[in-house]
Amino acid sequence: MKPARKPSLPVAAKAPLDARLTEQRNPRSSRIDQMSTLEIVDLVNAEDRGVAAAVGAERLQVARAIDLVVEGLQQGGRLIYVGAGTSGRLGVLDASEMPPTYRVEPEVVQGVIAGGFDALLRAQEGAEDHPEDGAAAMDEREVGRHDFVLGIAASGTTPFVHGALKRARERGARTGFLLCTPPPEDLLRTHDVVIAPLVGPEVVTGSTRMKAGTATKMVLNTISTAAMVKTGKVYGNLMVDLQVTCEKLQDRGERILMDTLGIAREEAHKLLDAAGGHVKTAIAMQRLGVDAQEADRRLDEAGGEIGKLL
C-alpha cells in the first residue's frame, strides 16, 4: 500500500515575505507536486508564453542599451556582462558566441561571472556575496569610459554585480542593470539604463533559471545582435563577418557568397579560400575586382560596413 501523499502547502493569502517578484510564490503552480507529467509540461509552457511580452514591454530600455553599446564600440570600447549563477552563465554564453558569429576579438564582448571559470560548470556557493570581488574584476579588465558594463541579476540584489557596477562607474564606464523585479528608485537613478522584464513568480519559487533566465537570454540576444548589425557586421540579414572555423561555417560562408554574388558553389569555395575564410572580404573582392589585401583596406576605410562600401 502506497503511503499517503503529503499535501502541498497552500499559497499564503497574506503579503509575501520577500518583496522581490522573483522570490514570490506562483499561485498557479502551488500544487505542481500533485500534477501529472503532461500537466507540468502545460503549466511551464503557459508560464513561458508571457516572457516575450514582458521583454517587449522593455523595448525602449533595450534600445537605449543598444545605443550605448554601439557608441562605446565605435570608440574602441567593450560590452561587458557581469552576473552570478544563471545570470553570469548567460552573459558568458552570449559573449562567447560573438567571435565565431561576427568575427570580433574575444575581448570586445566579455562575460564576467562570480566565481570565475569554475562557476560555469558547477555552482560556486557564496561567490556572489562579495562586492569587492566584482570591483576587482573591473580593475583587472581596466574598465574605462568607452566601455558599457551590464549587470545581470534577476533579483536585482546580487552583491558581486553591484560591486562591479559601482567600480565600473568610478572608472568612468557607462552602466546598465538587467533584472526581473520592479527596480527601486536608487537603481534607476544610478545607472544609464535599467531593463526590467517582469515575468512574474517562477513555477518553482525562486528558480530564476526558468522564466527570468529565458527573459535574460532574449534581452542579451537582442542587445548583442543589434549592436553587431549597427557596427557593420551584417549585410542585409546575412552574417558576412563570420570567420570560417568549421565545416558548418564553411558551408554557410559559401552559401552567403552564392546568394549575394550569384556564383556557383565551386567558385564560392575558391573565393572564400582566397579571402582567408572571411566572407565580407570575399564579397568586396568579387564586387570591386580587387585582391584580399585591397578589399580589406577599402573595408577599413568604410568602417567595416560593406553596404556603405558597395
Of 17 and 23, more confident: 23
* Domain ranges within the chain, ordered by starting residue: 53-230, 247-309
- Among residues 246, 266, 259, 257, the alpha carbon closest in space to that of 285 is found at 257
Could you give the C-alpha distances from 41 to 14, 136, 202, in angstroms and in order?
29, 42, 14
Give the whole-angstrom CA distance, residue 98 versus residue 31: 42
How confident is the model over 52-88, as pLDDT tens digits? Answer: 999 999 999 999 999 999 999 999 999 999 999 999 9
**Is 97 an annotated catalytic residue?**
yes
Q: Residue 235: pLDDT above 60?
A: yes
Q: How many residues are there in the chain?
A: 310
Q: Residue 94: pLDDT above 90?
A: yes
Give the whole-angstrom CA distance, residue 153 versus residue 195: 11
Give the residue-averaged pLDDT of 14-21.
Answer: 70
Assigned C-alpha cell, 67: 545605443
Contact indicator for 13, 145 with CB cutoff of 8 Å? no
Contact indicator for 32, 40 with CB cutoff of 8 Å? yes
How confident is the model over 23-32, as pLDDT tens digits? Answer: 888 889 889 9
Place of cell 574584476: 137
Q: Residue 265: pLDDT above 50?
A: yes
Dihedral of the alpha carbons of 228, 57, 161, 113, in degrees to the nearest 10: -50
Give the whole-angstrom CA distance, residue 270 versus residue 11: 65
Q: Residue 1: pLDDT above 60?
A: no
Classify domain 247-309 by CATH architecture: Orthogonal Bundle (1.10)
Contact indicator for 61, 67 with CB cutoff of 8 Å? no
Classify domain 53-230 by CATH architecture: 3-Layer(aba) Sandwich (3.40)
245: confidence class by pLDDT, cuts 50, 70, 90: confident
Average pLDDT, the chain: 90
15: confidence class by pLDDT, cuts 50, 70, 90: low
Sign of CA dihedral 144, 55, 220, 183: positive
Q: Residue 293: pLDDT above 70?
A: yes
Of 10 and 161, more confident: 161
- Among residues 135, 89, 131, the alpha carbon closest in space to that of 113 is found at 89
Give the whole-angstrom CA distance, residue 177 versus residue 187: 8
Q: Residue 2: pLDDT above 60?
A: no
Q: Residue 48: pLDDT above 70?
A: yes
Give the residue-averaged pLDDT of 201-206.
Answer: 89
Give the whole-angstrom CA distance, residue 117 versus residue 113: 8
Catalytic option among 23, 47, 58, 128: 128
Place of cell 565545416: 247
Secondary structure of residue 19 in the 3-state scheme: coil
Give the residue-averaged pLDDT of 193-220.
Answer: 94
Q: Residue 267: pLDDT above 70?
A: yes
- Among residues 85, 80, 115, the alpha carbon closest in space to that of 98 is found at 80
pLDDT, residue 13, reads: 45
Assigned C-alpha cell, 273: 579560400
pLDDT, residue 228, reads: 95
